[in-house]
Amino acid sequence: MTLTTSGLRKAFGGVVALDGADVEFVPGKVNALIGPNGSGKTTFFNCVTGMIKPDAGRITYGGKDLTGRAPHVVARAGVGRTFQLCRVFPRMTAVENVLAAVRPGGLVHGLRSAHRRAEIERAHGWLTRLGIEHLAGAEARNMSWGQQKLLELAGVLMAEPNTILLDEPAGGVNPALLDRIGTLVRDLNAEGRTFVIVEHNMDLVMSISDHIVVFDRGRPIAAGPPAEIRADERVLGAYLGV
């Protein structure tokens, strides 16, 4: 399933955040979306996931038109996302959070009990996979920042997305967890999930990505494998402002 945009445009008042962005991510791979602050990366994620409507342009996933569709429609099409500022319910336990990610409010009470048990088991499975099962009964607000990010990812995985957008997965996490996040992304990718990652940590980007798209002023200026991007003068220019 290929995620593409064509001519994507979004302005906030006089500020043009996306300026006709034509992007194609490589399905089945770890894609990164990088670029200087203010180059439109978050706005791009918000448009693609239906949080905001673009002014113009098209978003397609596996050939299906997702332009301007609501977040739950995008999620149902198989595109999941995490947020830069990590969205979890602070007063719910970890396992409740994972369940809530697929059922708003975490209300599994309405489900037949066999199905409910299966869902709870699946939630524990993801917590185990992400190494936070020992915190299943802990309220999210008592977990560390990095653990909360893993919890948010567990919720995203619960919906079984084919494509996962990660907004700064390394932001604010300690080096040990950073390694774990890198390994997790590669492992989850090896199982067939496509990733698109917005990330400032260039070591992480260069080590886990297969394909990098570079944004500057609301549109891509370069795309290719890490070795090519690292050597691209336009990329250096965008970052250094020369």
Which residues sit at the interface with ligand ADP, rule CB under 6 A? Answer: 12, 15, 17, 35, 37-43
Cβ closest to ligand ADP, residue 43 vs residue 194:
43
Cβ closest to ligand ADP, residue 18 vs residue 151:
18
Residues whose CB falls within 8 Å of the CB of residue 135, separated by 6 or more in sequence, listed in order: 94, 127, 143, 147, 151
Q: Contact 149/155 with Cβ under 8 angstroms?
A: no
d(CA 78, CA 92): 25
Cβ closest to ligand ADP, residue 7 vs residue 38:
38
Question: Nearest 5°: phi and psi at 173?
Answer: -100, 155
Q: Compute the least distance from the CB of residue 232 to ligand ADP, in Å.
A: 18
Express the helix, strand and coil content of the chain in percent, nearest 5 each: 40, 25, 35
Cβ closest to ligand ADP, residue 43 vs residue 209:
43
Q: Compute the least distance from the CB of residue 10 to ligand ADP, in Å.
A: 8
Cα 234 to the center of its chain, rounded Å: 26
Cβ closest to ligand ADP, residue 42 vs residue 93:
42
Q: Contact 5/59 with Cβ under 8 angstroms?
A: yes
Query: Across-strand partners of 6?
Result: 58
Q: Compute the least distance from the CB of residue 42 to ligand ADP, in Å.
A: 3
Q: DSSP character for 36?
A: S
